[in-house]
Amino acid sequence: MGRPGKFLLGGSGLLNRSTVNKRLPYILLAPSVIILLALILYPLGFALRNSFWFWNLQTSPMPLYHSGWDNFRMVFLVTPFSEALKNTLLLAGLGTFAQFWLGMGIALLLHTHLRGMGLMRAVLIMPTTLAPVVAGFLFRYLLEPKGGILPWLLKGLGVPVPPQGFLGNAGTALFSIGLVDTWQWTPFFAIVLYAGLLSISEEIKEAAQVDGASGWRMFWSVTLPLLRPIAAFLVMIRFMQLFNSFDLVYVLTNGGPGTASRTLSFNLYREGLVNYNIGLTAAMTWLVVIIVSIIINLYLFFVFRKREW
């Protein structure tokens, strides 16, 4: 093994090197994989064990008694789990959809390359740089029912504003959270999709033009398919980040009014760190882990099957 190379390269260490090389990549990966496995398997194991135990941190520092599948039943009886799941999917689905198409529109604006678009690209990203809680503070101020500038502006335009404000109304609370997230993350889609537009070669576009494609036809049949790999990646990342929404819910509505804007993450937080119902939280953790795994694997299977990293 490696004999011609040894001669060619003249180094006596090459043979040695190639045997080491088989193990070396795994040795280099090991530290990060070990620390991450420890950081993940501990919580998952913890949740698996305690999902079958009754344990409330307010009454005991340790699990009290074995309770079979009770915790799993209680998740649906005591917490608004199905409502939270519905809210989460609605928020993630609609939010990702809105952000993608708004971002695409802005990317096309940037792609006109008119004077000033460079500056716009540089400052447009500012909402995305904010911590989600800070975006939450910002919009709680803007949406404040008495004295906030947005209800004032909308009233001026004749739009009906609920008396409890958009965040305090059961029909608009979840929608408002989605809107704030859309405000924060549309620029992210815009600048990444713009980078994607730049990477499409002029030759392909010219070839399409020679074939008579222009305007919308060009966009749907040439541009969009070429952006597909980038779009698939962005949509996956954003869908899951929205699916995990906690910060915005915590600051904007605290899951309310009632349970109208609870997401799965917020539901877990309430049960675990407000009610200290550790056993029940553990059962819910596993339900969420299973749902997330299904979503991620479906996505990886259908979208990334042929992708080479």
Partner 1 sequence: MRRHTARQKLAIYALTLLVMVFFLGPICWFILLAFRHPSEAYTLPPQLIFEPYLGNFIDTFVEPGNNAPQLVNSLIVSSGATLLSLPFALSAAYALSRFAMRGKEFIMNWYISLLIAPPIVFVIPYFILMSWIGWAGSYQAMILTLQTLAIPFSVWLLKSFIDEVPLDLEEAAWVDGATRLRAFFRIIIPLALPGLIVTSMFTFVFSWNNVLFPLVLSRGSTVTLPVGTISFFASTGVYWGHIAATAVVAMLPPMIIFLLLGRYVVRGLTFGAVKG
Query: Please, which of residues 115-144 interact with partner 1 by CB under 8 A?
Result: 116-117, 120, 122-134, 137-139, 141-142, 144
176's tokens: 């408002």
Choice between 4 and 147, CB closer to partner 1 = 147
297's tokens: 């694997």
| Per-residue binding letters, 194-223, with partner 1 (x by CB under 8 A) | -xx--x------------------------
Residues 51-70 that bind partner 1 (CB under 8 A): 57
| Separation between Cα atoms, residue 49 and residue 5, nearest integer Å | 54
E strands present in 149-273: none
Choice between 98 and 130, CB closer to partner 1 = 130
User: In this chain, which of 1, 146, 158, 160 binds partner 1, going by CB under 8 A?
Assistant: 146
Q: Left if phi > 0, otherwise alpha if psi is -120 to 50, otherwise beta: which for 297?
A: alpha
Choice between 94 and 197, CB closer to partner 1 = 197
Shortest CB 70 distance to partner 1, Å? 19
Shortest CB 185 distance to partner 1, Å? 10
Q: Which helix (H) or strand (E) holds 220?
A: none
Does residue number 178 form part of the binding site for partner 1 (CB under 8 A)? no
82-115 in b/e form (b: 16+ CB < 10 A) is eebbebbbebbebbbebbbebbbebbeebbeeee
Does residue number 157 form part of the binding site for partner 1 (CB under 8 A)? no
What is residue 271's three-state secondary structure?
A: helix
Distance of CA 232 to the CA centre of its chain: 13
Shortest CB 49 distance to partner 1, Å? 10
Mark the segment that binds partner 1 (CB under 8 A) among 68-76, 77-85, 93-101, 189-197: 189-197
